[in-house]
Chain A
Amino acid sequence: MKRIYSVLVENRAGVLCKVAGLFSRRCFNIDSLAVGETDSKDVSCMTIVSSGDERTIEQIEKQLNKKLDVIKVKTFAESSSISRELMLIKVKYNPGSRRDIMETCEIMKAQIVDMSTTMMMIQICDQPERIQLFLSMLKSISIVEVARTGTLALQKCMDSENGK
């Protein structure tokens, strides 16, 4: 079972290490992890995608809540969230493949953000499974480098939700 944890933490040195350490020490999986500051400077948001059985998923939430640098843990299934991932991908092209790449980018709504005479860099921001799909579409051409942010997610908007 996949689960997304949106974890608000104190923006301090060493917190990422403590949270990541908790996962490794208790043998919880991390499928992806993304960290960044929130609207308030002293709070960071960590988006962690993990998987496991029901008990593991409950334990992850409880153990996260136990950490003294964790302010709040929200957990939700993929289906009740909006999730996005950003990928930068550098590919080699030649006159024969150039058009194909550009068409694939167009279909998938990816942008070419940089290029040289032999290489181009493509940016795509989409749902994690579409990122995966895009990557597989480019498998036939020569990929030089890939960098991904990991999933970012927030729970879907609900009218009952009252600010924070």
Chain B
Amino acid sequence: MTGADAMVKCLEKEGVQVVFGYPGVAICPFYNSVLDSEIRTVLIRTEQNAAHCASGYARISGKPGVCVVTSGPGATNLITGVATAFADSIPLVCITGQVNSSMIGSDVFQEADITGAVESFVKYSYLVRNVEDIPHIFKEAFYIANSGRKGPVLIDIPCDIQNEAIGRFTYPENISMRTYKPTVEGNMVQIKKVIREIEHAKKPIICVGGGVTLSGAVDEIRSFAEKYQIPVVSTMMGIGVMPAKHPLYYGMVGNNGRRYANRAMNESDLLLMVGARVADRAVNRPDLITEDKVLVHIDVDPAEIGKNVGPTIPLVGDIRHIFDAVLGQEFKTEDHSQWIESLNGYRNTMKEKRPQIGEEYADPSAFIPKLAAQMDDDAVYVADVGQNQIWSTAFYDIRDGGRFLTSGGMGTMGYSIPAAMGARIAAPKRQVVAVCGDGAFQMSMMELGTMAQHDIRIKIVVMRNNYLGMVREYQHFTYHDHYSVVDIAGKPDLDKLAQAYGLGYLKVDGHCDMDEQIRSFLKDDSSMLMEVMVDPTDLVKA
């Protein structure tokens, strides 16, 4: 048995069913060994997308996504994908080939110090120096990636170590690391302190973040909100914790969020921040938020508490465990009906303004709800980055069982198509729709080849305005229409492009029957490309 065989065996032991990657000489021993296993390999068209695929896969399957690439440029290409996963706490195990051990440090062909380069974007990294270390390193890597605050772990393995014979393969049953013991159970004294605040609050609100989904606490949070009649708002990463039409849900907060959601959060007297970082996009002035309210910050990562906002009542632990514990306690709260009534008032009266749109164009605020209405309840909606993302957060009404994926922290353009592919592989029966702009589409359109080759069926919506719309909008407001480098000249004919890859193609503009086009788009399981003509002057903020 060689090191490469051992690597494959480790993946099998971890129940890995698919790896996303791109081979090269330094990782060839692994790709040679994986051929003899049941593990499916997906050849991606560029390494960054291998990490995004693994991210989409991880978010839907709940298991770490695995990507395997070669040394040098293969490894460095992966970095943006790793950083994207790190920012959103998505569990990945990234395996990179490395040049032979004896060559490391001499700048040979395709050598890159990848563990050094990704240091600030990974939860942990390994450079394997001894073939016998492979089993426990893999065991640790999977454990670290998918526990505590989840995130990517990178394992760099020199080619000679993959080829070396391994004496004896035993996969560790358990792992115990003296430097890594994430807090799971919440401290009962702190939990009781929080309950006392909830008892006395007149205008409490819960703000849910991505951590709620990551800890599998969606049911607990909903039960808690419903039992005590506490309104809920969310960050972008928290979309989907509550169905959009839930009576207690008031939408996404932040500079691109609903005005009534921000108002609800601002007027509360108790804010339960759950699995959210209180980052700049969600809370404009974190330093001011505690001026007139009590802030309870619940997170599995103690370093997030007090990083952006303070002072708070900190509660460290896994959200599901904590809310289980809270739901296990009996207590009474104030009557919140008046508070809820006023929030309902804001929701009904504070309508978002929309700009005037040319009649030849499709209005995203009309198109996205129509798309949502025809999508399956448990569909996966993957929004890219840009205006399309903000419109998606505003107009996509997610239902119970649905998922909303996007690159929240890093804002990585091109995320939606590969992430949707990964999601579809994790759930081959679920409808998966990627929504992107024409800028982001051109950052990952090479994956149409991967979709065709591996029969990965997803629906792609390209919102086309021939501009980098979000930056254009920024230049509209900040530089008074002094547009610089936002016109995406060169116009790929998406109809022809779809044909080239054997995809179905549909077009939506201001004149067509939108519902009919969406029906054709979603009618069967095949991959489809839909081009939605969007007014270049349209804005996310009117």
Contact = CB atoms under 8 A, between A and B. Distances in A.
A155 interface: no
Interface stretch (B174-182, B263-271, B511-519, B533-541): B174-182
22 contacts: A14-B127, A17-B116, A18-B119, A21-B120, A22-B120, A25-B120, A55-B310, A59-B303, A62-B302, A62-B303, A63-B303, A65-B302, A65-B303, A66-B301, A66-B302, A66-B303, A67-B179, A68-B123, A68-B124, A68-B179, A68-B180, A71-B178
Nearest to A61: B303
B372 to A, nearest CB: 39
Given A55-B306, A58-B306, A59-B303, A68 B177 contact: yes
Nearest to B148: A66
B179 A10 contact: yes
Given A14-B116, A62-B307, 20 more contacts: A10-B179, A13-B127, A14-B127, A22-B120, A55-B306, A55-B310, A58-B306, A59-B303, A59-B306, A62-B306, A63-B303, A65-B302, A65-B303, A66-B301, A66-B303, A68-B124, A68-B144, A68-B177, A68-B179, A69-B179
Contacts of A65: 302-303
B460 to A, nearest CB: 36
Central interface residue in B120, B144, B303, by most chain A CB within 10 Å: B303
A65 B306 CA distance: 15
Nearest to B303: A62
B179 A71 contact: yes
A27 to B, nearest CB: 12
A53 B310 CA distance: 14
Contacts of A68: 123-124, 144, 177, 179-180
A68 B122 CA distance: 11
A135 B177 CA distance: 45
Contacts of B301: 66
Nearest to A64: B303
Interface residues of B, number: 18
B115 A14 contact: yes
Contacts of B123: 68
A58 B302 CA distance: 11
Interface in B111-167: 115-116, 119-120, 123-124, 127, 144
- What are the nearest 8 A-B pairs in CB distance? A62-B303, A68-B124, A25-B120, A66-B303, A71-B179, A68-B180, A68-B179, A21-B119
A122 B540 CA distance: 69
Contacts of B120: 21-22, 25
Contacts of A67: 179
Interface string A5-48: 00000100110011001100100000000000000000000000
A48 to B, nearest CB: 17
The binding surface of chain A is classed by DSSP as helix
B355 to A, nearest CB: 40
Contacts of B177: 68
Interface in B84-128: 115-116, 119-120, 123-124, 127
A22 to B, nearest CB: 8
A87 interface: no
A113 B302 CA distance: 49
Contacts of B178: 71
A70 interface: yes
Interface string A68-103: 111100000000000000000000000000000000
A59 to B, nearest CB: 6
A26 to B, nearest CB: 9
B501 to A, nearest CB: 41
A81 B451 CA distance: 62
A70 B302 contact: no
Contacts of B303: 59, 62-63, 65-66
Contacts of A62: 302-303, 306-307
Given A25-B120, A58-B306, A59-B303, A70 B179 contact: yes
A92 B162 CA distance: 57
Interface string A123-135: 0000000000000
Contacts of B119: 17-18, 21
Contacts of A59: 303, 306-307
Contacts of B116: 14, 17
